[in-house]
Structure formats: structure tokens, C-alpha cells
Amino acid sequence: MVFSGSDHRTSDFLELLQKERPELLSRSGTGAFGTTPLPDSPAASADFRAFRYAELKGQRVPTPSLMDLYDSLLEGTTILAAVYNEGVIIAGDRQATAGFQVGERRIRKVYEVDTYSAIAIAGVAGPAMEMAKLFQVQVEFYEKIEGSPLSLEGKANSLSNMVKSNLPMALQGLVVVPIFAGYDLKRKQGKIFKYDAIGGQYEESEYYATGSGGKDAQATLKKLYSPDMSRDGALKVVAEALWDAADEDVATGGPDFIREIFPTIKVIDSTGISDIPDEDVKTLYTELLDRLRN
């Protein structure tokens, strides 16, 4: 602990870590979330370029060591968010894949940030989960230091900075893409912010899905979505979108009735954030399956 009575004082936890404990932010100098530039690693990047080139030309090449490493990393798959008449829903499947294997069946990709917001993550799971954890601390740290919470837009911008500082890793193919959703207490509505791999931030007024099955989920949302949906109506649409993502995308996990694993769904409205319990998600899918069978 540093007694910083007269020192520089910040309410930005990321800045604090960069100053006090930069080693916590980097993977031996790769600069994840940090500002240290990527060290020259000609071997690694040459491997990667060779692989990308061969891949683009549709060739199968002897897998270089770096690709073995990439294949061993967990990837998060489908996440989505949708605004409904009283707030916003944010959800994700529970599977992570490593190469062509199921790497993890029960991973969580949607995290509560504070009472009125949540983050969902897709991309390389390790750094993505770390980003979610860091973001949660970032928002809470600000609130405690300043005595009042960040605005929803302020939280979204600070997440953009985190994605941005992951750029060196993204350029190596280790991409992290979050969705941020929350209830804006001032404007009394649910809001969604999406990000690209280099930290570009865009507000979505209706719905958004990303990750490997994002496109399929997005297609379903597009067909079934209407902005004045009620909470229950929106939950049905979200469940169906995740179902279609799992149906079309091999990497996305569907509801698993044998192991009792169901997608994570969180709802945020003016009363705060709440989890939809597993039993309720199970019911949503039982009903969906009944509909699909008929």
C-alpha cells in the first residue's frame, strides 16, 4: 500500500495498476491492457504470417509451434444483448472451444459489473475474463473513490480504453471483444455498446450479437426483435437466438439437458441487475423445443 497523501491521486484503476503493478497487466511483455509495446519476436510473427498466408490460399501447412499454442487456447463463442421496453437483456452460451475441441462446458461469459450494468465477453477466454474482472474493479474503484458512480457512457468509454490497450495482442490474433450493456438511470432506458478488436466503440439502440455464432444469433434477433417487447417476450427471443447460434455454429454450446447447463441470461432494468435462474432458462428452452417440434 502506498500512502499517497501528497502524491498523484487517481480514480482510474487501470492507470493505477499501470503505475504501481505493471507486471500484473502484461503477459511477459506482450502488453495486454498495458502500454508496453510488443517486443520484436520475428520467429513468432513469421510463424503466424506463414500460417495466415497458407490458410488464405487454402493450403494445409505443417502447424508451426505458435499455432499449437493458439489451438490450445480457449475461445469464448456467442454473446448477445437486446434492449426491451423496460431495460436490457445480456446473455451468452456456456461453451469455450480450444481448436476443434470443447475446452470448457460451463464457462461464464456474462459478468455483473455493478448494480446497473454487465459485460459479456467473446474471443480468447483467458484475457477476456481478465478484462471483465479488471473492468469490474475499475468501475467499483471509481465509485468508491469519487463517492458516486460513473455514468453509463463513462463506463463504456473506460471499457473502450481497455480493449484499445489490448491492441498488441489483437494484432497477434488474440482478440477480445466485449459487449457492454446497462440501464441508463438518467435517460431511463437500456443501452448496448459494442466494440471492435481495436477498441472502436459503437452504441447499438436495439440488439447486437458477436462471437463465433454471433451472426446466426443476429439473424434470429433481426427476424424476431421489436423494440417494444416486454421482458418475457425479449427473454424468449434471446433464448431462441442463442439456440440458433448453437444450431448453426459448431463452437457454440446449446442448452445441455443431460448435464443441466444452460446459457447465462441477465436482465437489467430500473431496479437493477438480476440473473435469470437456471430453472427459468430451462423452462424457456423446454417451451422453445415444444414450439420447434410442432
Partner 1 sequence: MPAPYYVSPEQIMQEKEDFARKGIEKAKEVIVLEYRDGILMVAENPLATVFKISEIYDRIALAATGLYPDYEALRYAGIQGAEIKGFTFNREDVTARWLANQYSQQIGAIYRQPDMKPLEVELLLCEIREDSSSNNRIYHLSFDGTFWEDNQYTVIGGRADEIAGILENEYSDGLDLSGAVRLAARTFETIEAEADEAERYQVTAETIEAAVLDETLNRRKFKRLLPDELSEILSA
- The span from the CA of 77 to the CA of 120, in Å, is 11
Please tell me whether residue 1 binds partner 1 under the rule CB under 8 A: yes
Binding segment toward partner 1, per CB under 8 A, in 13-21, 32-40, 61-69, 87-95: 13-21
Taking each helix axis from N to C end, the angle separating 152-164 and 13-20, rounded to the nearest 10 degrees, works out to: 30
Instruction: Work out whether the CA dihedral 100, 266, 90, 154 comes out positive or negative.
Output: negative
By beta-carbon proximity to partner 1, the closer residue of 38 and 137 is 137
Please tell me whether residue 4 binds partner 1 under the rule CB under 8 A: yes
Q: Strand 176-184 relative to strand 96-98: parallel, antiparallel, unpaired? A: unpaired
Give the list of residues 6+ apart from residue 290 with CB closer than 8 angstroms, or none: none
Least distance in angstroms from the C-beta of 193 to partner 1? 23
Least distance in angstroms from the C-beta of 148 to partner 1? 9
Taking each helix axis from N to C end, the angle separating 65-72 and 42-56, rounded to the nearest 10 degrees, works out to: 80
- Residues 234, 78, 223: CA angle, nearest 5 degrees: 40
Please tell me whether residue 27 binds partner 1 under the rule CB under 8 A: no
Give the list of residues 6+ apart from residue 28 with CB closer than 8 angstroms, or none: none
String marking each residue 91-130 x if it binds partner 1 according to CB under 8 A:
----------------------------------------
By beta-carbon proximity to partner 1, the closer residue of 2 and 56 is 2
Backbone angles phi, psi at 227, to 5 degrees: -65, -20
Least distance in angstroms from the C-beta of 269 to partner 1? 17
String marking each residue 53-92 x if it binds partner 1 according to CB under 8 A:
----------------------------------------
Binding segment toward partner 1, per CB under 8 A, in 141-149, 214-222, 228-236, 285-293: 141-149
Task: Indicate which single residue of 16, 67, 96, 209 sits in contact with partner 1 (rule: CB under 8 A).
Answer: 16
By beta-carbon proximity to partner 1, the closer residue of 4 and 151 is 4
Query: Exposure pattern of 224-242 as b/e (b: 16+ CB <10 Å)?
Result: bbeeebeeeebbbbbbbbb
Indicate which residue of 10, 30, 63, 77 is catalytic. 77
Please confirm, yes or no, whether 271 is among the known catalytic residues.
no
Residue 92: C-alpha distances to residues 5, 54, 96, 188, 211 (Å):
43, 33, 11, 24, 10
Q: Strand 176-184 relative to strand 79-84: parallel, antiparallel, unpaired? A: unpaired
Task: Indicate which single residue of 8, 9, 57, 293 sits in contact with partner 1 (rule: CB under 8 A).
Answer: 9
Least distance in angstroms from the C-beta of 1 to partner 1? 3
Task: Indicate which single residue of 38, 44, 54, 145 sits in contact with partner 1 (rule: CB under 8 A).
Answer: 145
Give the list of residues 6+ apart from residue 284 with CB closer than 8 angstroms, or none: 235, 236, 239, 276
Q: Please classify residue 186 by burial: count the beta carbons closer than 10 Å to its beta carbon, then call 0-12 exposed, 13-18 middle and 19+ buried.
A: exposed
String marking each residue 146-175 x if it binds partner 1 according to CB under 8 A:
-x----------------------------
Least distance in angstroms from the C-beta of 121 to partner 1? 17
Residues that bind partner 1 (CB under 8 A): 1-5, 9, 13, 16-17, 20-21, 24, 133-134, 137, 140-141, 144-145, 147
**Active-site residue set:** 77
